[in-house]
Amino acid sequence: MTDEYDAVITWVEAPAEPKLGPLQGRRLLVKDLIDTAGVRTTYGSRIYRDHVPDRTASCVQRLVDAGAVLTGKANLPEFAWAVLGQNPVFGTVRNPIAPGKTTGGSSAGNAAALAGGLCDLGLGTDTGCSIRLPSACCGTVGLKTRWGAVATDGVFPLCPTLDTVGPMGTSVADVALMWSVLTGKPAPEPRLRGLRVGLLRQPPGVGDGRETETSDEAEAWVDDLQRLGATVVETRVREPSGNTWPLFNREALASHRATFPSRADEYSDLCRTKLELALRTTDEEAAEAYVAIDMWRRWEPDDVDLYVSPCYGIELPDEDADELEVRLPLSSFLRWVNLIGWAGLAIGNMQLVAPYDETVLAAGLAWERR
């Protein structure tokens, strides 16, 4: 198959007959961070370029058992650790709807393939923005599931306390159907009527003292939300009690213990730089970060049912932008959702956030049917 977007690392020959089920015959592209038995799985890295797992992650198996047809493994930044679609080994993923602009990362290949018609369904991961940002950049739909909602066995870890697996598609209906297969729960009925929606102009920070970006873009969606029966109010999200970055650094470093620093020269400059920075994290800083995240995850809002915000609030960077320069401003509306452990649904650049998957899916289905 022709892939003008560098969206796919490995193509897979389709089976003669897909299994019967609700996803029967739908073409599925799986992020190349997720194991598939007998199919090369590189994790976007030079180190694992020829790696072929002997097991299939349970999340993939659920979709295949429901009739989805695995067609390939999607391109991604090295080890899924970047907010742009750049990969020094397999090429930069190109944006089908905004040529020259980034696809976002790290589930870049999935979103580009969906936007470019190369697949029907995508399975991605999201640790800080990685399903929602590419979905926003490529005009598709993606769900960052509530932490723990979908099993992550067979997924190369980045930061286990934040890692999630979630469905990607071209419609909320497809994403909700995949979510139902992945979780074994019925998809929720569409609902916005009677809900209080918090308009989020500025996201909370990550506790490091950095001022987050602001955006008024969500105002464009207020009239339709209210027409669909929601009450929209201005709101803010509680800030974390301490710096959460050390947790990310500590767990990312642990995820690479087998190959870093012993094979440091085989990493890209970007990934190696991040790992070297992570080495500076102290035990005390990491312990304080775990406490801050635990406290934040105990909090639930009492003034709204869900939040609406953009996925990104800055001008979309070029595909060859410096990742270290843009990663924080580009992901600031998204990253907090992983830290607090909630669900986030991207419908293009609209983000719906709530403590539970069912809430954002119900709202997204209602929005899609407007």
Of 45, 73, 101, 106, the active-site residue reads 106
The candidate with the shortest Cα–Cα distance to 96, out of 80, 82, 85, 81, is 85
CA gap 370, 363 in Å, rounded = 11
Neighbouring residues of 177: CB distance < 8 A, sequence distance ≥ 6: 22, 23, 187
Distance CA 57, CA 30 (A): 11
User: Per the residue annotation, which of 31, 101, 144, 274 is the catalytic one?
Assistant: 31
Q: Which two tokens stand for residue 173?
A: 């209906």
Active site (annotated) includes residue 31: yes
Which residue in 73, 101, 107, 130 is the catalytic one? Answer: 130
Q: In whole angstroms, give the CA distance from residue 7 to residue 266.
A: 23
Active site residue 106: yes
Interstrand relation of 141-144 and 343-347 (parallel, antiparallel or unpaired): antiparallel
CA atoms within 13 A on the CB side of 69: 17
Catalytic site positions? 31, 106, 130
